[in-house]
């Protein structure tokens, strides 16, 4: 459907930006009957909703000739949760209404408030800002909303989550009762419903979530790893894809700080964004990404709101999103404006079932893959290098002269080898991860004990198949808790509610002492798993349990078992899926 219902100046502006037809959400707000009503719109990040509400307010801004008239007080107000998103909205509206002559003023934290007040005093057709700064201008008398015709709340659910309810209510209470109110929200929790009921009249409900879901230009992958390999998997994903720009999502500022420091230490050009960074630090980080001085951004969900990076081609969910909506918001940072993007979820083995349910809820088809190996990364590096060197370039005379000197002193093969070596020296090293297919330790021995395990002591852990126990993540856990290596762990036998494993007798005392020292911490995490020695081999232990009954040997209490799937914090990785 073309933009047939728009004024020529708006249609011309859209055409110059490459818009041939509206996205689903843009088409919905342009439908006949929607242009004078309050709207509640659910649309995903990256669906073109900024342009959508820009088009939706056209009738309240433009006169019959398609241009704006002279004003003192603003006609339209757009409120966004973060500085970055507000500035992005302002930039979009500037090109959309530039030909119509609209004057747009931004009011956001981190900018000079006195300059904003001067801009407001000169008159504005549209004001775009964050709740706190708009409320400040309103209370100081710099922002006059008495003539407002339409108010837009962008990402309203996020504004309420961030604690802006009082600011929003004070701003909206200062506007005329007959204004239009457009509420854009990816989700519709109860606070949003209450806000709509209070400030809207007979609102038209528009939802394009089903059509936009999954972002057709985003390829989803789920990578299963041992919890101790999460950081290594991040490194290998970055090295394998070599994206122009990548965004890595963590759940907490502590996780952002740790991962950012680790990547910088490994040689990646990375920046961090979280709640602990000042506005000036955020500005420097974003500018570094736009200038290509940095290629990796480690961020929390809230800190990444409103960030629009045209070169972003890879999103990695280092810590799992809390729900399907958060997955959509994070992934929507890439795959924009017709460009292809990749979103990768790093899934600890024991979380796979939960992630599968999240993907079903989001109606996303994800490909389950193994993390890139060091060999796969080397192969990709070779292909990228060959493609780079084969690309046609203009060679200056000075470069040719230097090439002639090199050819006189060295063979072509030596020069090429030195070039390859120089290229590889700039690349961070890949990580060796726990192999996917095979179990790290044998579960059964067919022909007697393997060397070094003739005399062992068996231990019990209070997690089993019911808790998604798997040797691939139990092995790193035992090494960390017991201060041993995988060579010190023999057979691992996983039952429904418990796991038994053997340790050589000569290492058992050291293992027990280390387990006691590392116990505690998060009672629901890895450090809360109970590990204790048992008498005899697993089959003997099972016979003793059956003879003793439910109470266990000697009437002692049975081992404690988790009532729900174990969700422990992997070392150096996520603390839990939020």
Per-residue pLDDT tens digits for 20-41: 788 888 888 888 888 789 999 8
Altogether, the residues listed in the chain come to a count of: 578
Which strand (E) or helix (H) includes residue 314?
Answer: strand 312-317
- What the chain holds in terms of domains, given with CATH numbers, is 8-212 (3.40.50.300), 218-375 (3.40.50.300), 456-555 (3.30.70.330)
Beta bridge partners, 342, equal 219, 314
- Check residues 448 and 559 and name the one with the higher pLDDT: 448
Asked if 145 and 74 touch (Cβ cutoff 8 Å), the reply is: yes
Sheet holding 180-184, edge to edge: 104-107, 126-129, 76-79, 150-154, 180-184, 39-42, 204-207
Give the pLDDT band of residue 182 (cuts 50, 70, 90): very high
Total-model pTM: 0.55
Q: Give SS3 for 557.
A: coil
- Point out the least confidently predicted range of 172-176, 221-225, 464-468: 464-468
CA distances from 282 to 293, 403, 511, 515 (A): 15, 43, 46, 42
Q: How many CB atoms lie within 10 A of CB 207?
A: 15
Q: Give SS3 for 261.
A: helix
Mean pLDDT computed over 412-427: 82
Most confident region among 244-248, 433-437, 572-576 by mean pLDDT: 244-248
Mean pLDDT computed over 389-408: 83
Instruction: Give the separation between CA 212 and CA 207, rounded to whole angstroms.
Output: 10
Residue 467 predicted with pLDDT over 60: yes
E-only strand ranges, 108-202: 126-129, 150-154, 180-184
Reported as a single tens digit per residue, the pLDDT across 97-118 is 999 999 999 999 878 899 999 9
Instruction: Give the separation between CA 24 and CA 535, rounded to whole angstroms.
Output: 66
Q: Give SS3 for 444.
A: coil
- Of 322, 328, 325, 330, nearest to 303 by C-alpha is 330
């Amino acid at each position: 459907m073309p933009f047939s219902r728009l004024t020529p100046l708006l249609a011309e502006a859209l055409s110059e930006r490459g818009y041939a037809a509206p996205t689903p959400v843009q088409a919905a707000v342009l439908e006949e009957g929607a242009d004078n009503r309050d709207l509640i719109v659910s649309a995903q990040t990256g669906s073109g909703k900024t342009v959508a509400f820009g088009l939706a307010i056209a009738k309240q801004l433009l006169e019959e000739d398609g241009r704006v008239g002279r004003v003192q007080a603003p006609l339209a107000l757009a409120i966004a949760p973060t500085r970055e998103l507000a500035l992005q909205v302002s930039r979009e509206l500037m090109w959309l209404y530039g030909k119509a002559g609209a004057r747009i003023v931004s009011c956001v934290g981190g900018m000079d408030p006195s300059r904003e007040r001067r801009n407001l005093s000169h008159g504005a057709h549209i004001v775009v800002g964050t709740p706190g700064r708009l409320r400040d201008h309103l209370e100081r008398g710099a922002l006059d909303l008495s003539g407002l015709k339409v108010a837009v709340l962008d990402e309203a659910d996020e504004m309420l989550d961030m604690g802006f309810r009082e600011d929003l209510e004070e701003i909206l209470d200062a506007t005329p009762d007959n204004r239009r109110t457009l509420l854009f929200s990816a989700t519709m929790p109860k606070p949003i419903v209450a806000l709509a009921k209070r400030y809207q009249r007979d609102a038209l409900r528009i939802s394009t979530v089903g059509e936009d879901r999954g972002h057709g230009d985003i390829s989803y992958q789920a990578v299963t790893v041992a919890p101790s390999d999460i950081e290594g998997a991040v490194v290998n994903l970055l090295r394998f894809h070599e994206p122009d720009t990548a965004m890595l999502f963590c759940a907490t500022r502590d996780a952002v700080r740790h991962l950012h420091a680790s990547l910088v230490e490994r040689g990646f050009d990375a920046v961090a964004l979280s709640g602990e960074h000042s506005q000036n630090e955020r500005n420097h980080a974003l500018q570094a990404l736009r200038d290509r001085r940095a290629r990796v951004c480690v961020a929390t969900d809230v800190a990444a709101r409103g960030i629009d990076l045209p070169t972003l081609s890879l999103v990695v969910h280092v810590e799992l999103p809390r729900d399907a909506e958060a997955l959509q918001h994070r992934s929507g940072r890439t795959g924009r404006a017709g460009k292809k993007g990749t979103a990768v979820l790093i899934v600890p083995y024991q979380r796979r079932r939960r992630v599968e349910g999240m993907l079903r809820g989001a109606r996303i088809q994800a490909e389950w893959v193994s993390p890139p190996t060091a060999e796969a990364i080397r192969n990709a590096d070779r292909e990228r290098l060959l493609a780079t060197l084969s690309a046609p370039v203009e060679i200056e005379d000075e470069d040719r002269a230097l090439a002639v000197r090199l050819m006189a002193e060295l063979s072509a093969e030596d020069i090429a080898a030195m070039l390859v070596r120089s290229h590889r020296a700039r690349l961070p090293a890949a990580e060796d991860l726990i192999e996917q297919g095979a179990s790290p330790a044998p579960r059964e021995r067919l022909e007697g004990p393997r060397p070094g395990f003739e005399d062992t002591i068996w231990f019990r852990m209070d997690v089993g198949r019911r808790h998604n126990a798997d040797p691939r993540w139990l092995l790193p856990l035992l090494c960390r808790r017991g201060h041993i290596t995988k060579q010190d762990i023999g057979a691992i036998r996983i039952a429904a509610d418990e796991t038994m494993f053997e340790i050589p007798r000569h290492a058992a005392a050291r293992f027990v002492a280390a387990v006691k020292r590392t116990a505690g911490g998060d009672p629901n995490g890895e450090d809360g798993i109970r590990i204790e020695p048992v008498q005899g081999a697993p089959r003997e232990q099972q016979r003793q349990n059956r003879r003793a009954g439910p109470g266990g040997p000697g009437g002692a209490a049975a081992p404690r078992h988790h009532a729900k799937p174990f969700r422990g914090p992997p070392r150096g990785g996520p603390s839990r899926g939020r």
